[in-house]
Amino acid sequence: MIDNLPYYTKDITSIKNAYSNNLLEFIKNEELVNKKTGEIYYCHKRKYLNLTFVFLLDNNLNHTKLTVRGSIHKLFNVGVHNANNFNFNDFKTTLNKFSKDFSIDLSKCILLPPEYGLNQFLNEFSNYDAKEIVFNTICEQRKTFQENPQGVKTSLISGSLKSEVRIKVYVKSVDQTEYCENTLRIELQEKKMRGLNKLGIIYVSDLLVLKNQIHLLERYVDYVKKLVIFDYTMKVSTRNKQYLQFIKLNNLTYWRKLIKDCKEGKEYYTKYNDEVKLLNELSNKHGTNLLSNLVQQSEKQYFKNLDLCSFLTYKRIKKPKNARVRKTKNASLYKTCMPCNLTDGLIINKYSKLFNNEKKVCSITGLDISMQREDSFLLSHTGLKYLYNYNRKLFEEVKQRHLYKKYKNADHQIQIKEIAHCIRDKRRRQLIKYPPHQTHFYELTELNIYNRLV
C-alpha cells in the first residue's frame, strides 16, 4: 500500500485552512530569492506528527502553494512507525480524517511521485530469513542494487536518481525491532509521475478509487517479478552437472560484468535473460523457488489489503501416494487465497479489464480486437487466428480487402502473416500522409464495411 505520499496544492482556500490550523507546530520561516527572476518569496515550514507542511508566500505575503510530505502509513500509527500491515480501509480512513482535520480538498491536491509497497512477515508463511534475501538480491531489469544508505547492508535500492522507478529492498525488522520481527519490505519509489498519470492517477483523491489501487497492484507485482534474487536455500551437489552454473550465478561480480558486456556488445544482448531463466530453473529444481513464493505472497497480501479475496487456513499434510487423507497434530500451517465474486477467478493482469467496458477497435479495419494484448491498436496475428477459428466469414471479408493478390492461394498461416503485414503498411502510409501532430480541417474517418458484421 501507499507509504510516502507527497503532494501539493494551489487552492488558496485549502492553504489558508491548513495554515491557520492549531494542530501545526512551528519549525521555521525563511526569506528566499528566486534565482531566475530575483524576486523575494517566503517559505514557512510547519509540522504535524510525521508530516511536513511547506507554505510558499509571495513578496506580499499572499499564499501561493502548499506542499505536504510524509508517510501516510506512519500517520495511521500516530507518526510512530510503519512496520505493521496497512490495508485499503485504513488508508481511506486516515486520508479522509486528515482532509477533515485540516479542511483540505484532496481533489485539488496534485500528487508528487509516491512510494508504495508491502511488509512481508516471513514467519507467517515460510522459514525464509529477511537478511539473507536482501544479501542475495542482485539486480532488477539490468540495474544493479546499491546500499541505501551507504554502508547499510540490510537496505538496497536499484537504479540511479535518473531512473523513473527505483526498487527498495530492505529488512524492516532491523529499522524498527520493537514493532516487527523478520519482516521484509519491497517498495517501489516513483521518481516521475509520467507512468501513474497514464493510468489516470493525478490527484490524491484518485487513490481512494479501488480501480486505481488495482493499477498500483499490477504495477507493483510486475516490478517484483523482474527482480533477480539468488535462492540461498538451493543445495547442489559438487557432482551435479549444474554445480559450476550454481557457483557462477552466485557471484555478484559475474552479474555486473554480464550486464556491462551485454550493453557494450561483448555478449549477445539477451544472454542476461537466458541467465535469469537458468537461475529460476535452478531455484525451482534445487531450492524452494524463492522469488516465485515472494511474488505469490505479495499478490495474496495485496489482495487481502484491498479486500478483494478471503484467506482460508489449512493444515499441510505429508502423505504417501494413494494414502488416506488425515490431519496430523503438528502439521505446519499455510495460507491459500480464494478469489471473491468481484475477481471471478481472473488472473491479476486481467483485473483492470473488469472496470473497462470500452470496446477496443482496430484503427484500420474497425474490428473488435479485445482478444489481443491491452496495448494493441491494430488487428494482428492473434486477432486474425481468432477470426479464422471462430468467425470464418469475417476472416474471408478481411482477407478479401487486406491480402495481396499473390497470396490468395497460399496457406492460411502465410495469409494471416501477410494480412497483418498489409494492415501495418496501411497504418504507416496513413501516418505519413496525415501526421498526428498536424492540424486537420476534417475528421479522418474511413467508411467501414464491417460495421454490419461486428
Residues 373 and 339 placed together within one structural domain of the fold = no
Q: Where are the alpha helices (DSSP H) in 164-228?
A: 172-175, 194-198, 210-225
Residues 150 and 120 placed together within one structural domain of the fold = yes
Q: For residues 82 and 74, is the Cβ–Cβ distance under 8 A?
A: yes
Q: What is the pLDDT of residue 192?
A: 87
Please check the confidence at residue 411 and state whether its pLDDT lies above 50.
yes
Q: Is 340 helix (H, G, I), strand (E, B) or coil?
A: coil
Residues 205 and 295 placed together within one structural domain of the fold = yes
Residue 308 lies in a domain: yes
Domain boundary among 112, 144, 179: 112
Residue 238 lies in a domain: no
Range of the domain at 96: 1-112
Residues 102 and 156 placed together within one structural domain of the fold = no
| CA 123 – CA 135 distance, rounded (Å) | 18
Please indicate whether residue 150 or residue 202 has the higher confidence score (pLDDT).
202
Residues 366 and 226 placed together within one structural domain of the fold = no
Residues 89 and 24 placed together within one structural domain of the fold = yes
| CA 401 – CA 408 distance, rounded (Å) | 11
Residue 157 lies in a domain: yes
Domain boundary among 112, 127, 152: 112
**Grid coordinates belonging to 203:** 490527484
Amino acid at residue number 237: S
Residue 258 lies in a domain: yes
Q: What is the pLDDT of residue 437?
A: 60
Assign 385 a pLDDT band (cuts: 50, 70, 90): confident
**Candidate from 180-189, 303-312, 345-354, 420-429 with smallest mean pLDDT:** 345-354
Please check the confidence at residue 310 and state whether its pLDDT lies above 80.
no
Domain boundary among 223, 258, 284: 284
Residue 422 lies in a domain: yes
Nearest Cα residue to 399 out of 372, 365, 375, 432: 365
Please check the confidence at residue 421 and state whether its pLDDT lies above 60.
yes
Assign 252 a pLDDT band (cuts: 50, 70, 90): confident
Q: What are phi and psi of 264, to 5 degrees?
A: -85, -5
Please check the confidence at residue 334 and state whether its pLDDT lies above 60.
no
pLDDT digits (tens, 9 = 90+) for 352-381: 433 444 567 888 888 888 888 877 888 988
Please check the confidence at residue 333 and state whether its pLDDT lies above 50.
no
Please indicate whether residue 116 or residue 448 has the higher confidence score (pLDDT).
116
**Considering the chain, what percentage of its residues have pLDDT values greater than 70?**
84
Assign 271 a pLDDT band (cuts: 50, 70, 90): confident
Name the domain count of the chain. Answer: 4
**Considering the chain, what percentage of its residues have pLDDT values greater than 90?**
7
Residue 253 lies in a domain: yes
Average pLDDT for 326-339 = 40
Residue 138 lies in a domain: yes
Average pLDDT for 117-139 = 88
* Cis peptide bond prior to 149, omega within 30° of 0: yes
Residues 222 and 343 placed together within one structural domain of the fold = yes
pLDDT digits (tens, 9 = 90+) for 281-299: 888 888 888 888 888 888 8
| CA 68 – CA 75 distance, rounded (Å) | 13
pLDDT digits (tens, 9 = 90+) for 65-108: 999 999 999 988 888 888 888 888 888 899 999 999 998 988 88
Please check the confidence at residue 422 and state whether its pLDDT lies above 60.
yes
Residues 292 and 410 placed together within one structural domain of the fold = no
Please check the confidence at residue 420 and state whether its pLDDT lies above 80.
yes
Residues 204 and 348 placed together within one structural domain of the fold = yes
Residue 443 lies in a domain: no
Residues 150 and 56 placed together within one structural domain of the fold = no
Specify the pTM: 0.67
Residues 135 and 219 placed together within one structural domain of the fold = yes
Residues 131 and 247 placed together within one structural domain of the fold = no
